[in-house]
Amino acid sequence: MFVDSHCHLDLPEFQERLPDVLATMAAEGVEHALCVSITLEAWPRIRDLVRAHPGLLSASVGVHPDYLDVNEPTVAQLVELAMQPEVVAIGETGLDYYRMPGDELDWQRERFRVHIRAAREAKKPLIIHTRAAAQDTIRLLREERAEEAGGVMHCFTEDWDIARQALDIGFYISMSGIVSFKNATIVHDVARRVPLDRLLIETDSPYLAPVPYRGKTNQPGWVAHVAAAVARLRQIPVEEVGRITTENYDRLFGRARLPAVQPAPAA
């Protein structure tokens, strides 16, 4: 069985397809998925989605570093939301210098610090996004004592040196569909070297579909193909990758503490 540690099922790509997406999860042996927040405006939609599928889905709460014109979270607000029973993590958060130079992004670094402080206070792990900003990401994690919260470097695309630094402060490393791409040699190297007890797998749906679905709209059920790519690189059975990454997920995040949905009384 597998767990998708990072997806975005609340996005419009899934609005008309959710029953089929959930059916594919079941068919592929994917028992759980973490629906990751990217704005506070989207939070009610994620909350309602997760509450409608207790046991199958969990949620995070946070604001992605790419979004400027959105509600800016405070530590108190994130902590309050993190106490909701469907929330198992803070994020996704981090730094992204891909579209804008780092010297213009003080607001992004401050937002990142807010999330780390909230995670420490709420005692919930962080989901970290980093793009073209790896050294600053590691620096801020250290400065804000993020090891007290723990977390995961999601959709990891950096080299082994950055992976090692993240591991040194207690973080997990998550492989996405990129690990199945033929030319992703840096990611392949990291996937071979990360200690198995610190490895997670994800889809980042609807993005980054793995081979053999590359270019299509990704979905949580296809995390099984991410596991298969990792298994080939490490020369171990895919079932072992599934078992270990599921255990790692539960150790880091656990599952949403939601009651089962009770059937409506008969008329």
Which residues contribute to the annotated binding site? Answer: 6, 8, 92, 129, 154, 204
How many other C-beta atoms can be found within 10 angstroms of the C-beta atom of residue 5?
31
In angstroms, the CA 55 to CA 256 distance is: 7
Residue corresponding to tokens 């996004």: 129
CA distance linking residue 4 with residue 210, whole number of Å: 13
- Where helices occur in the chain by DSSP H, the ranges are 18-27, 43-51, 75-82, 106-122, 134-143, 160-168, 185-193, 223-234, 238-252
Do residues 230 and 240 make contact, with C-beta atoms less than 8 angstroms apart? no
Task: Find all residues with CB under 8 Å of 254, minimum gap 6, and list them.
Answer: 88
DSSP conformation class of 108: H
Give the bridge partners for 131, in sequence order.
Answer: 96
- φ/ψ of 205, rounded to 5, equals -55, 140
Structure tokens at 261: 């949905």
- Binding-site members for a divalent metal cation are 6, 8, 92, 129, 154, 204
Residue 203 near residue 223, CB atoms below 8 Å? yes
- As a whole number of angstroms, the distance between CA 219 and CA 205 comes to 5
